[in-house]
Amino acid sequence: MEPERAWGQATAWMGTLADLDGAAAVLEWDRETIMPPGAAEARASQLATLAGLRHAHLLDPSVGEPLDALCDAEDPWRAASARIAIRERRRAARVPETLVRALTEAQSRGVAVWSAARTTGDVPAWLGALTPLMALTRDHGQALADGGDAYDALIDLYEPGTTHAMLAPVLESLAQRVRPLVDALAGAGGPPLPAGPWDDAAQMDLARYVIRDMGFDEQCGLVGRTAHPVTMGLGAGDTRLSTRVDPADPLSCIMAALHEGGHALYDQGVPVPRRRTMAGDAPSLGAHESQSRFWENHVGRSPAFWDRLHPAMARAFPGVAADLSADDYVRALNRVERRPTRVESDEVTYDLHIVLRTRLERAMVLGDLDVADLPQAFDDGMDELLGIRPSAPAEGAMQDVHWAAGIVGYFPTYTLGNLYAAMLADALEGAVGPVGAVLAEEGPAPLLGFLRERVHRHGRLMETPDLMRHATGRDLTPDPFLAHLERTYSPTASVP
Amino acid sequence: MEPERAWGQATAWMGTLADLDGAAAVLEWDRETIMPPGAAEARASQLATLAGLRHAHLLDPSVGEPLDALCDAEDPWRAASARIAIRERRRAARVPETLVRALTEAQSRGVAVWSAARTTGDVPAWLGALTPLMALTRDHGQALADGGDAYDALIDLYEPGTTHAMLAPVLESLAQRVRPLVDALAGAGGPPLPAGPWDDAAQMDLARYVIRDMGFDEQCGLVGRTAHPVTMGLGAGDTRLSTRVDPADPLSCIMAALHEGGHALYDQGVPVPRRRTMAGDAPSLGAHESQSRFWENHVGRSPAFWDRLHPAMARAFPGVAADLSADDYVRALNRVERRPTRVESDEVTYDLHIVLRTRLERAMVLGDLDVADLPQAFDDGMDELLGIRPSAPAEGAMQDVHWAAGIVGYFPTYTLGNLYAAMLADALEGAVGPVGAVLAEEGPAPLLGFLRERVHRHGRLMETPDLMRHATGRDLTPDPFLAHLERTYSPTASVP
């Protein structure tokens, strides 16, 4: 087939996929931010219809020949797009459209039920929605696996090419090496910040200030507010991120802003002309998470960041923050503490939460754990790994939106993100300078420049291991992450 | 074909249409309220893709037989749904999908360009977007008309069964009977309200209060803010309306709230179980507008409404409104004045604006007026009908979003709405009591009850003339409207 004609057909086909994905993202953003409660059922149905149409379009047989013809294209963007498209089509062909629709509808309902039940602590309502959803997720994994491991097939949706057999040793060895650190460091860091109240609007203003300062382009996106912070790409030129506000703790809002800001900068960094192709995105969630974790942990927990921000804090919260120093923030933030809530955990304990979720979700998918037993298993697992028990369902198995949204196989990518982020910070130190020194001298622009050059601009041209090898010169290794923890959290390092 | 099987197939098919319409409405609502400017192109493409998919689904041949089988169904909802669906399919079959997509894309771009150009007064930019859009609209009208009148075919999109030949005599005779009234009444009413400033947030709060008081269900909708007020149905349980804020004039915000509130109550009044059928909506825009005009003009301009609202006004605007009486608001509102802006016009002059737009848009569609000559023709026409000339493009042909959004054939429905609203107010007087007296004694609930019973609950079971005959006992007549104007605006009536 003539290459230009093949590319013309492929781009039209990919453009429709991009439009359907963008439209679904608009519906989801609206749902997470302002949708009235009475619309839940209609919205679930709309998303199911879009998912069904996407599925049918993805499998359109007429594009098979053009895609095959493009696999050997000289232009790497064309070849990568064809390769990714063929893999997605092969995967989609394994899942019947009825299952796709049922899953999407159950996911929308799951989020709505979770959102209400988490507030009221209504565990039975939540489990009532989760049970059929998890059964559908298992069906999904089995259909995708085509005789292989259902959990591996689900991981592959988020972290292509990675299996549980590859992940498990890394996760379990991290847990082993981190647990003594937790024992040694628990209680390190300073006291928490004053309880406030920290003004609601001022927190959002400050979050917007931080995100703009990182380099976020507000002409091509916006910052909102949700219960669970999130970043969404709604199409080229429309990247949205949200943070949350806790009146007793401004750090929660700012760290979420840094985290989601990292995702958002990645989304904005993929070249716009590539956005409507299959290669115009990140190659995996682990790659994406490397960006959010870089900004959250390597930037946001550094003394240099708080040296820059603390005057703005004092202006934003004149009653509470007037007498706080940069050091007070760093010490409050870098407190190592066994906390039940993953998103509020410090960097040292964080991955223990991921180990727990990975064990549990795998067990649910493989049928080794009943959903009805999940709350108990969650609490027991936290006890074993972290030595604490959640005090309420909202701090236990119900704390995350992921399972309620049918997102299974996703949690391990957070830890991959932590490892890649540390590898990137090491590489940045070699190429530009240490994160803190760069930030102190030139602000965040050189950090973003490094990430744009080494990661963002490549879109999905390479799979994640290749991309990270290209960016850092190394294969996946936990060593820089552990070195970073030891350096940052040793008793002398935490008060620089 | 077995009736239940036919209905099953038809409802699945209609449900997908409803989902696609709802999804497009979410994308449009987002665009009108918060979308970042960089997303304009992607959003236009998303909407074009959804429109293309809708078009293809509408014409799905497999549903032809079930729909034919349902035309004689005993259940009137089934029969009406089949009748409407068959008409829509016949219409859609006349329009090639390429034209649908081009039109949708040009409409999205047109709104974006208009929105920016109106602010800066950039007439060439606006005309640059309008010229190709109007050419596509003409193609659309001609394709729909299938040899008939292209403008009639466009009117039929909004007011099924009505032609320009039916409308023109009504419009021109109204203009003839209204112009002497304008001459006699210009300057009637009281002075405008103090210039303020009227607090921005307080205006929105008050608009929300008014809309809730009318009976709007906030569990199934929300109130936003846009440059051009709008109401959208985003699916069952999701009715959204917006108002606008002018810091110098709180009446603009409140009247828009009443107007859009009327549309929104109609949307919420269609029985939810019918929403996913073709009959689960209003039969025409004229019918819809009868509701908005009822609340805006028969309720909002009445002394009884302001007797209820003026204490809240005094609380909301303590600096400006403390000494204003109900009568001050009524007199300021019911000032008869030749104003260039349609949406700010009083009830007496309003229909002259519609006559102007109807003449101009018909001429553009039939090729008798070049888009390039529109600004001049608009100003000349306003001079002839109203005796004034716009002072700036934003007050002239550029003032409305309609043409920039490719909405042509729509304007006449505003006047139909005025006539039907007056007919309904007359019928309400016979059945329940005069609007003002009911409002003073029992508040708005009996008014809404009457409209729900006579209009809303019937959805699209009848065409508009039949629905209005059923609701009022009369055929379309301008007499109640003219009597209402004479009664309300006679020098003695305006100060009750």
Domains by residue range for chain B, with CATH: 3-150 (no CATH), 166-489 (1.10.1370.30)
Q: What span, in angstroms and rounded, lies between the C-alpha atoms of B379 and B367? A: 19
C-beta of residue A271 within 8 angstroms of C-beta of residue A80: no
Beta strands in A15-147 (DSSP E): none
pTM above 0.80, yes or no: yes
* Segment B243-270, tens digit of pLDDT: 999 999 999 999 999 999 999 999 999 9
Give yes or no for a contact between A181 and A486, defined as CB atoms under 8 angstroms apart: yes
Contact between B455 and B424 (Cβ < 8 Å): yes
Instruction: Assess whether the previous peptide bond of A197 is cis (omega < 30° from 0).
Output: yes
Other CB atoms within a 10 A radius of the CB of residue A35 amount to: 23
Q: Do B30 and A35 touch (CB under 8 A)?
A: no
Cβ of B43 within 8 Å of Cβ of A235? The answer is yes
**Structure tokens that stand for A308 in this block:** 């820059």
Distance, in Å, from the CA atom of B480 to the CA atom of B423, rounded to the nearest integer, reads 6
Give pLDDT tens digits for A414-430. 999 999 999 999 999 99
Which is the catalytic residue, given A105, A260, A395, A463? Answer: A260
Indicate whether A462 pLDDT > 50. yes
Average pLDDT, integer, range A440-446: 97
User: Does the structure show a pLDDT above 50 at B103?
Assistant: yes
Tell me the pLDDT tens digit for each residue of B333-347.
888 989 999 988 889
Q: Which two tokens stand for residue B366?
A: 């039939």
pLDDT at A495: 32
Is the pLDDT at B493 greater than 60? The verdict is no
pLDDT in tens, B123-148: 999 999 999 999 999 999 999 998 99
Residue A234 neighbours by CB under 8 Å, 6+ apart: A22, A25, A26, A29, A240, B39, B42
Edge-to-edge strands, sheet with B239-243: B221-225, B239-243, B231-233
Collect all residues of chain B within an 8 Å Cβ-Cβ radius of residue A275: 42
pLDDT value at B492 more than 80: no
Q: pLDDT by residue (tens digit) across A33-91? A: 999 999 999 999 999 999 999 989 999 999 999 999 999 999 999 999 999 999 999 99
- Numbered residues of chain A with Cβ closer than 8 Å to any chain B Cβ: 15-16, 19-20, 22-23, 26-27, 29-30, 34-43, 45-46, 48-50, 53, 217-222, 234-238, 275
The CA distance from A239 to the nearest CA of chain B, in Å, is 9
Q: Which run of H or of E encompasses B53? A: helix B40-58
A461 to A269, A416, A431: CA distances (angstroms): 14, 19, 23
Chain A residues touching B220 at Cβ < 8 A: 36, 38-39
- List Cβ<8 Å contacts ≥24 apart for B141-148: B141/B365, B141/B408, B141/B409, B143/B94, B143/B95, B143/B96, B143/B99, B144/B91, B144/B94, B144/B95, B146/B94
Shortest Cα distance, chain B CAs vs residue A352, angstroms: 39
A222 interaction partners in chain B (CB closer than 8 Å): 34, 36
Residue A14 confidence class, pLDDT cut points 50, 70, 90: very high
Q: CA B260 → CA A265, A309, B25, B243, B389, distances in Å?
A: 39, 45, 16, 7, 28
Residue of A nearest to B275 (CA): A42
So what's the pLDDT on residue A491?
55
Whether the per-residue pLDDT at A493 is higher than 70: the answer is: no
Percent of chain A with pLDDT over 90: 84
Contacts of A471 (CB under 8 A, 6+ apart): A423, A424, A427, A454, A455
Cα→Cα distances A314→A198, A202, A306, A309, A329, Å: 11, 11, 12, 9, 12
Report the pLDDT value the prediction gives residue A163, as an integer from 0 to 100.
87
Q: What percentage of chain B has pLDDT greater than the value 70?
A: 99
Query: How far does the CA of residue B461 sit from the closest CA of chain A (Å)?
Result: 22
Q: Among B216, B84, B166, B149, which Cα is nearest to B419's?
A: B166
The SS3 of residue A459 is: coil
Instruction: Identify the CA nearest to A348 among candidates A183, A166, A173.
Output: A183
Minimum distance, in Å, between the CA of residue B21 and any CA atom of chain A: 9
d(CA B421, CA B417): 6
Among B436, B438, B444, which Cα is nearest to B304's? B436
Taking residues B113-130, report their average pLDDT. 95
Q: How confident is the model at residue B491 (pLDDT cuts 50, 70, 90)?
A: low
Copy the structure tokens of residue A31: 């749902």
Residues in chain B with CB shorter than 8 Å from the CB of A48 are 19
> Across the interface, do A38 and B222 touch by the CB < 8 Å criterion?
no
Contact list in B for residue A201 (CB cut-off 8 A) is: none
* pLDDT tens figures, A155-172: 999 999 788 988 898 898
Banded model confidence at residue B34, pLDDT cuts 50, 70, 90:
very high
Residue contact A237–B48, C-beta within 8 A: no
Mutation target among A53, A98, A216, A223 for the B interface, most CBs of B within 10 A: A53
Residues of chain B with C-beta less than 8 angstroms from the C-beta of A46: 19-20, 22-23, 26, 235
Tell me phi and psi for residue A406, to 5 degrees.
75, 20
Closest residue, chain A, to B238 (C-alpha): A39
Residue to test with chain B: of A11, A20, A26, most B Cβ within 10 A: A26
CA B188/CA B491 separation, integer angstroms: 7
CB contact under 8 A, B19 and A236: no
- Cβ of B42 and A48 within 8 Å? no
The residue whose two tokens read 């000349």 is B380
Q: Of the candidates B19, B27, B39, which has its C-beta nearest A45's C-beta? A: B19
Tell me if residue A241 falls in helix, strand or coil.
Answer: strand
Q: For B394-418, write each residue's pLDDT tens digit.
A: 899 999 999 999 999 999 999 999 9
Chain B residues with CB under 8 Å of A116 CB are none
From the number of C-beta atoms within 10 Å of its C-beta (0-12, 13-18, 19+), residue B323 rates as exposed
Tens digit of each residue's pLDDT (9 = 90 or more) over A183-216: 888 888 888 899 989 999 999 999 999 999 999 9
Tell me which residue has tokens 């089949």: B82
Cβ-Cβ contacts under 8 Å for B20 (sequence gap 6 or more): A46, A49, B50, B53, B54, B57
Residues of B with CB under 8 A from a CB of A: 15-16, 19-20, 22-23, 26-27, 29-30, 34-43, 45-46, 48-50, 53, 217-222, 234-238, 275
Per-residue model confidence as pLDDT tens digits over B176-223: 999 999 988 888 888 889 998 999 999 999 999 999 999 999 999 999
For this complex, say whether ipTM is above 0.90.
Answer: no
A36/B238 Cβ within 8 A: yes
Burial label, B75 (beta-carbon count in 10 A; 0-12, 13-18, 19+): exposed
Instruction: Tell me: pLDDT of A144 over 90.
Output: yes
Min Cα distance A197 → chain B (Å) is 24
Q: Are B238 and A43 an interchain contact pair (Cβ–Cβ within 8 Å)?
A: yes
Are B42 and A22 inside 8 Å of each other by CB? yes
Distance from CA of A30 to the nearest CA of B (A): 8
As a whole number, mean pLDDT of residues A287-293 equals 97
Number of other residues whose CB lies within 10 A of the CB of residue A354: 23
Q: Do A220 and B39 touch (CB under 8 A)?
A: yes
Q: Of B26, B42, B221, which is closest to A235 when you measure between CB atoms?
A: B42
Instruction: Kindly determine whether residue A26 and residue B22, on different chains, have CB atoms separated by under 8 Å.
Output: no
Task: Return the structure tokens found at A336.
Answer: 């190592």
Please, what's the b/e burial string for B374-396 (b: 16 or more CB within 10 A of its CB; e: otherwise)? bbebbbebbeebbeeebeebbbb
Residue B489 pLDDT class (50, 70, 90 cuts): confident
Residues on chain A touching B49 (C-beta within 8 angstroms): 15-16, 19-20, 23
Query: What pLDDT is attached to residue A67?
Result: 97
With contacts defined as CB-CB under 8 Å, which chain B residues touch A34? 222
Residue from B243, B236, B221, B267 nearest A35 by CA: B221
